[in-house]
A and B are shown apart, each in its own frame.
Chain A
Amino acid sequence: MSILFVLIPLTLILVAFGLWAFFWAVGNGQFDDLETPAWEVLVDDEPRDHDAEIVAKRE
């Protein structure tokens, strides 16, 4: 069972990391608006020259 002496601190580090990530996300405004961003995936970017080049290359 001595592996627990390694694994549990490891868990705690992971938990601390998860919390840190969550704090960062909250502070960054990720949870301020839970409605609008859901729609953003449906919206295409502007067709850019850059995209056109890629398409041209592929063809």
Chain B
Amino acid sequence: MKKTGGWRLATGASSGADATGTLEPGRWALVRSAVDTAPASRTTAARDGASAAPTSNLRPAASHCFHCSEPLNGSTLTARIHGRDEPVCCAGCLAVAELIAGAGLDDFYRFRTAPSARPDADALEEDAWAAYERPDVADRFVTRKGELNTVALLVEGLRCAACAWLIDRVVSRMPGVRKFDINAATGRAYVEFDSEALNLGQLLRTIAQLGYRPYPASDEAVAKVRQEERRSALKRLAVATFGMMQVMMFAVADYAAVLGGETMDPQLASYFRLVSLLVATPVMLYAGKPFFLNAYSNIRARTVGMDVPVSVALLLAFVASTWNTFTGIGEVYFDSITMFVFFLTLGRFVEMSARHATTAVTDALTRHLPPMAHRMHSGEVQDVPSVALSHGDVVLVRRGEIVPADGVIIEGDTSLDEALLTGESTPVRRAVGANVSAGTLNLQTPIRVRVTAIGEETLLSGIVRMLRRAQSQKPAIAQAADRAAAKFLRYVLLAAGAVCAIWLAVDPSRAFEATLAVLVVACPCAFSIAMPSALAAATGALARHGVLVTNADAVESLSRVDRVVFDKTGTLTRGEVRLQKCTQLGSVPVAECLRIATALERMSEHPIARAFADAAASSHDADTYRVTNVRVAPGRGIEGEVNGRRYRLGRADYVAELRHDNKADSVADEPFATVTLGGEREALAEFTFSDTLRDDAPAAVEVLHALGIETEILSGDVPSAVSQVAQRCGIRTFSARQSPEQKLQHVQARQASGAHVAMIGDGINDAPVLGAAHVSIAMGRGAALAHAAADIVLIAEHMTALPRAIETARRTMRIARQNLAWAAGYNFCALPIAALGLVPPWAAALGMSLSSIAVIMNARRAARATKDAGSGNGTRRGTGAAGAAGSRHSALTRHAAAATARSTAAVARQNALASAATPQPPAT
């Protein structure tokens, strides 16, 4: 109750609620420090118990949307939050903000630490969730236990813990929900609900209404395996830790006696040994089990892995110690054994955590197939779950629907949005006989598709699989280290044998100790965790800054980048088309023209339709125009009657045709960025569109230059637009109107001249280029499949994350090389000493452990936050032997990835890219 009271006061400021008297200073400080970075006004407001609006933790500037922090662009919409009218940028944000406030959950805006995702106004209106209300669809995702149903969901758009809180609040209140758990880090949620009171469709719709995108999780099996792996690793680590501490306690008593020159009471000594054996046994059998299993399978496969000498040493020491415990003669090594197991387990745990951290992205891809399909059956349309489709079925895909399976069009002529596959937002025309891929969106007319591939066979699933494989691979440089270690291990085993033989000849009593010491000292554990631990620390740190590494080799490649190539749209710019200028050409005023154009475009799915809608929303025009007889001319424009008069909107020549005029009126020389509105008698207006530059793009470029990295723009856009962006960013080299092939050639030419190229794109309309670059980077808001092809995804919507990532990568590799050098040096120095019998086993185990600790501690430095973005200037860029070996290997895997990415793009746009899609043999 005390906690509740203190807290209610803090949050209750908005409602002017209760007692000032129950305020506890300590509690208040906790709340304040956690939620408020600008506390002064809040504190006073709360102390007074006044109804003044509290300051939000993350308060957007006045000119930006309160909900999503996007610029307002003239919108005058407001939402009432915490008793104040806050500006919002669009109807979607307004709807979400009002829903949140209406449910009394305004506190969301106080807790959040990142701006919310801008909701898709269309998604809020259309009901995509009706299908999930049907039991046959829901059953694919829901596990039933009597009345109680459990479903796993993935929620996209979670930006911070407050988002999770908001969803938790709303969903927990729904009737029928028994239990709701959501993980803010992974966006994974588990819901237990009563099927009588609630169905899956309602659940998903409710979350969607809050502005998030929920999907029933289809990769539960993978997630479960990952969770199980983590849990059992934690348990092993706990057993090893506790066991090590206990055994060490008894061993210290022994050492103290030896150091003090005294002898322990023999009864006590043997008692200690017995207890040590008791504790060490579970450590060996439970925590050490994976090592023995690995070693066993290694031996069966006739290879020598890291675990073979480890297991040999552990077994030798354990058996000898057990024997000595019962006979009461000779040394026991339980302390060495437990310490050894502990550090090995710790190293494996660190490596596993790093592996898991990068797998979250894959999930996004599997979410894009519709749950229902319209199957044609003897002339009638049946709605069936998409999973029930089979080869040869004919499905109807209506306008605005997503294609449920790969297939061939047998009827209809339409344009498709293939952004999911290609990142290209411009619709692509598809006629009878053309292939369509699952996950693409039908924009224009209904089509009938004969299904050729379903489920796992689809292109989409193939790419998801490819991505998963890439994520499960070990970084090439770490593999090189492992191979070196394996080679080293053979010599270690031979050396141990030799040492044993020599000592048996010289002094049999010391043979065992010396052999054991060699086995333990020579274990290249530090060597093999040198790389994974540094990479793990770096990927963790990068993820916190919004840079997601999806390819194991990316950090290494990134550290060597000396040229960054930008694809203009969506990287340096925001990638959102905005209406920039309206020019009056005829007798009708501009405002009227805009209204006519907006009304016409409402009928269209073209990207610029959204820009018109946004412009109209911000100018607050009542929507009274009636549009009839609409005809879309793909690639040219749209024609329709507005209030009874015929208009055309689109390319200048298309518009001119309406008035039977061959001369196209146009004031601009950029046909891409302008559309013309014309009537039957005259051209009326010209609209110019532009893409706004990211605020921090110039700063990011400047830092890149300071890091000694050259920058360049390769864009498909018109020259004037590209040069303008280049100039404002301070980029001197740029090329406009580049086709994908030209971009590819350009990048390859740069690489041939020795540059290490990073390519940043927002889609895989540049798949070949992204595949060919040393490092490919995709923007977080780009196409889902761009993420699949990219090594790195910039989730953070700011460009400055990029130079910071490069710097972190450089530091990481420097640290990793230090680690390798240190570990290798230690092993080589300690081995001869141990062979001479100068190292007792406990010292060998301690030395081995300390060298591992040193490596792990050093690796942690990679995660250190960058204070000054320019400080990496003049970083030494040496490449060790391991680095060179790694890069050779990474070139191989990259080729395989590039080949796959290319064939993907080729299927998506068969003819255009055929030349670039030369198939390459997959490596290994």
**A39: min CB distance to chain B, Å:** 4
B183 touches A11 (CB 8 A): no
**B841: min CB distance to chain A, Å:** 24
The residue in chain B whose Cβ has the minimal distance to the Cβ of A51 is: B4
Q: What 1/0 mask marks residues of chain B from 1 to 38 whose CB sits below 8 Å from any chain A CB?
A: 10110011001000000100000000000010011000
Question: In the complex, which of the residues A39, A51, A55 contacts B162, with contact meaning CB atoms closer than 8 Å?
Answer: A39
A22 touches B235 (CB 8 A): yes
Within 158-176 of B, Cβ neighbours of A (below 8 Å) are at: 161-162, 164-165
Question: In the complex, which of the residues A12, A35, A55 contacts B161, with contact meaning CB atoms closer than 8 Å?
Answer: A35
The residue in chain A whose Cβ has the minimal distance to the Cβ of B19 is: A55
How many chain B residues touch the partner (CB < 8 A)? Answer: 36
Determine chain B's interface SS by DSSP, over half rule.
Answer: helix
Question: In the complex, which of the residues A18, A33, A42 contacts B183, with contact meaning CB atoms closer than 8 Å?
Answer: A33
Contacts of B184 in A (CB 8 A): 33, 35-36, 39
Question: In the complex, which of the residues A4, A18, A44 contacts B11, with contact meaning CB atoms closer than 8 Å?
Answer: A44
B182 touches A36 (CB 8 A): yes
A23-B238, A39-B162 known; A4+B183 contact, CB < 8 A: no
Determine chain A's interface SS by DSSP, over half rule.
Answer: helix
Contacts of A34 in B (CB 8 A): 185
B31 touches A42 (CB 8 A): yes
Contacts of B231 in A (CB 8 A): 26-27, 31-32
Contacts of B182 in A (CB 8 A): 36
A49 at the binding interface (Cβ < 8 Å): no
A42 touches B275 (CB 8 A): no
B183 touches A23 (CB 8 A): no
Contacts of A19 in B (CB 8 A): 238-239, 242
Question: In the complex, which of the residues B7, B185, B239 contacts A42, with contact meaning CB atoms closer than 8 Å?
Answer: B7
B161 touches A39 (CB 8 A): yes
Taken together as a complex, chains A and B put the C-alpha atoms of A27 and B433 apart, in Å, by: 54
Question: In the complex, which of the residues A12, A26, A39 contacts B278, with contact meaning CB atoms closer than 8 Å?
Answer: A12
Question: In the complex, which of the residues A12, A22, A33 contacts B275, with contact meaning CB atoms closer than 8 Å?
Answer: A12
A4-B271, A33-B183 known; A39+B238 contact, CB < 8 A: no
A5 touches B242 (CB 8 A): no
Within 98-126 of B, Cβ neighbours of A (below 8 Å) are at: 107, 111
Give the size range of A's interface with the partner.
20 to 34
Taken together as a complex, chains A and B put the C-alpha atoms of A26 and B349 apart, in Å, by: 15
Contacts of B195 in A (CB 8 A): none
Contacts of A42 in B (CB 8 A): 7, 31, 34-35, 111
A11 touches B238 (CB 8 A): no
The residue in chain A whose Cβ has the minimal distance to the Cβ of B11 is: A44
B234 touches A26 (CB 8 A): yes
A36 touches B164 (CB 8 A): yes
A51 touches B1 (CB 8 A): yes
Taken together as a complex, chains A and B put the C-alpha atoms of A31 and B1 apart, in Å, by: 27
**B346: min CB distance to chain A, Å:** 16
Within 352-390 of B, Cβ neighbours of A (below 8 Å) are at: none
A44-B8, A51-B4 known; A26+B235 contact, CB < 8 A: yes
A31-B234, A47-B8 known; A36+B161 contact, CB < 8 A: yes
A4-B268, A31-B231, A44-B8 known; A12+B238 contact, CB < 8 A: no
Question: In the complex, which of the residues A32, A38, A54 contacts B1, with contact meaning CB atoms closer than 8 Å?
Answer: A54
**B699: min CB distance to chain A, Å:** 30
The residue in chain B whose Cβ has the minimal distance to the Cβ of A18 is: B242
B871 at the binding interface (Cβ < 8 Å): no
Contacts of A27 in B (CB 8 A): 231
The residue in chain B whose Cβ has the minimal distance to the Cβ of A54 is: B1
Between A22, A44, A54, A55, the greatest number of chain B beta carbons within 10 A of the residue's beta carbon is seen for: A44
B866 at the binding interface (Cβ < 8 Å): no
Within 6-49 of A, Cβ neighbours of B (below 8 Å) are at: 8, 11-12, 15, 18-19, 22-23, 26-27, 31-36, 38-45, 47
B41 at the binding interface (Cβ < 8 Å): no
B1 touches A35 (CB 8 A): no
Taken together as a complex, chains A and B put the C-alpha atoms of A39 and B183 apart, in Å, by: 11
**B168: min CB distance to chain A, Å:** 8
A33 touches B185 (CB 8 A): yes
A22 touches B31 (CB 8 A): no
**A5: min CB distance to chain B, Å:** 7
**A34: min CB distance to chain B, Å:** 8
Contacts of A1 in B (CB 8 A): 265, 268
**B184: min CB distance to chain A, Å:** 4
B34 touches A45 (CB 8 A): no
B152 at the binding interface (Cβ < 8 Å): no
Taken together as a complex, chains A and B put the C-alpha atoms of A38 and B107 apart, in Å, by: 17
A32-B227, A44-B11 known; A23+B278 contact, CB < 8 A: no
**B357: min CB distance to chain A, Å:** 12
B584 at the binding interface (Cβ < 8 Å): no
A11 touches B268 (CB 8 A): no
Contacts of A40 in B (CB 8 A): 165
**B334: min CB distance to chain A, Å:** 14
Taken together as a complex, chains A and B put the C-alpha atoms of A41 and B10 apart, in Å, by: 13
**A6: min CB distance to chain B, Å:** 12
The residue in chain A whose Cβ has the minimal distance to the Cβ of B246 is: A15
Taken together as a complex, chains A and B put the C-alpha atoms of A20 and B779 apart, in Å, by: 46
Question: In the complex, which of the residues A12, A15, A31, A39 contacts B165, with contact meaning CB atoms closer than 8 Å?
Answer: A39
A12 touches B279 (CB 8 A): yes
Taken together as a complex, chains A and B put the C-alpha atoms of A44 and B279 apart, in Å, by: 45
**B173: min CB distance to chain A, Å:** 8
The 9 closest A-B pairs by CB, nearest first: A39-B161, A33-B183, A36-B184, A44-B7, A35-B185, A22-B238, A26-B231, A26-B234, A36-B164
A-B contact pairs, 16 of them (CB 8 A): A4-B268, A4-B271, A5-B271, A15-B246, A26-B231, A32-B183, A33-B185, A35-B161, A39-B111, A39-B164, A40-B165, A43-B111, A43-B165, A44-B4, A44-B11, A55-B18
Given contacts A23-B238, A42-B34, 13 further A-B contacts (CB under 8 A): A8-B275, A19-B238, A19-B242, A22-B238, A26-B234, A26-B235, A33-B186, A36-B184, A38-B161, A39-B111, A41-B3, A44-B7, A45-B4
By a beta-carbon cutoff of 8 Å, the part of chain A in contact with chain B is 1, 4-5, 8, 11-12, 15, 18-19, 22-23, 26-27, 31-36, 38-45, 47, 51, 54-55
